[in-house]
Structure 1
Amino acid sequence: MQPYLFAPWVWRDPTWLSAGDAGFDRVRDSAGAGERPDTGLIGYHVEATDGGIGKVDEDNAEVPADCLMVDTGPWIFGRKVVLPVGTVRRVDHEERKVYVDRTKDQIKDAPEYDPDDTDRDAHRQRTGDYYTESYRAVPPML
């Protein structure tokens, strides 16, 4: 059996973000480096494999376009977490939900996002390494 290849920074199915979808809005990221198709997901509920974990946060533009900033609300003490877009299993625009293929605990144990940390590359590396290892240990249910 081949191991599951996980690409943390790549949408599995970019058609989820097509211009025809309700709520879709292409804008430039704050650095002007590229389009931000994910901004149409702000406010969407995020569902782990074992239940809801929060919503895509309005500060989503603070992270690279290949991540989603999720506000967990009171679930893990109001913490914001960064999910690589590769964790997204599917997007339901009618229900305004983003489904990820990790559990609440896997997300809770991910490296914490610190808006004051100036070393974004190090956080990105830690996050990518964490999720890549989580897929190596527990491949998604396909």
Structure 2
Amino acid sequence: MGTDRIWSYAVDSGHTEGQRLAGFTVVAADGTMGHVGRQADGSGWRHLIVDTGVWLFGSSVLIPAGLVTAVDVKAQQVRVACTAEEIKRAPRFKTDRETLDPEYLAGVGDYYRNLPPRQASAS
């Protein structure tokens, strides 16, 4: 089940319970990659669905909450601990049904969990 850290916001991320992130800009380690279209906080598989606009041909990507390194409410930004290229190579998100599919979510978690660790940027 999705109870490991990849599916939970880090204590030092700046995220607070009940905080709505829809509309916030998502900033990867190497630049802006879209905005939060919606989020799932009600289960053990907490994640963001990020609308990428033209960046990835108008698709959406699923990013586990554990990748959020910083939430800046004033700037309305969410920083994540991966690059845009790593997000681009992640398992494809096609429909909302996948957010309820444990097999799909386990694959996404495995993919992100196996990325090389990176230092959080300070900006």
The two structures have a TM-score, normalised by structure 2, of 0.81
SS in 1 for 2:117: coil
Counterpart in the other structure of 1:133: 114
Q: Distance in 2 between matches of 1:69 and 1:116?
A: 9
Q: Which has the higher strand share?
A: 2
Q: Percent identity?
A: 32
> CA separation of 1:116/1:44 partners in 2, compared to 1, >3 Å: closer, same or farther?
closer
Runs of 4+ in structure 1 off by over 3 angstroms are 116-119
Q: Distance in 2 between matches of 1:93 and 1:43?
A: 11
Q: Distance in 2 between matches of 1:116 and 1:87?
A: 20
Counterpart in the other structure of 2:57: 77
Aligned residue identity for 1:68: L
The two structures have a TM-score, normalised by structure 1, of 0.71
1:121 aligns with 2:102: yes
Q: Distance in 2 between matches of 1:116 and 1:101?
A: 24
Per-residue Cα deviation, 1:2-32 (whole angstroms, up to 9, x for no partner): xxxx82111112772337xxxxxxxxxxxxx
Aligned residue identity for 1:122: E
Q: Distance in 1 between matches of 2:47 and 2:79?
A: 14
> CA separation of 1:90/1:15 partners in 2, compared to 1, >3 Å: closer, same or farther?
closer
User: Is contact 2:13–2:68 with CA below 8 Å preserved after alignment?
Assistant: no
Aligned residues, how many? 115
Aligned residue identity for 2:8: V
Runs of 5+ unmatched residues, structure 1: 1-5, 20-36
Mark the structure with the bigger radius of gyration.
Answer: 1
User: Is contact 2:49–2:61 with CA below 8 Å preserved after alignment?
Assistant: yes
Shift in Å, 1:122:
1.2
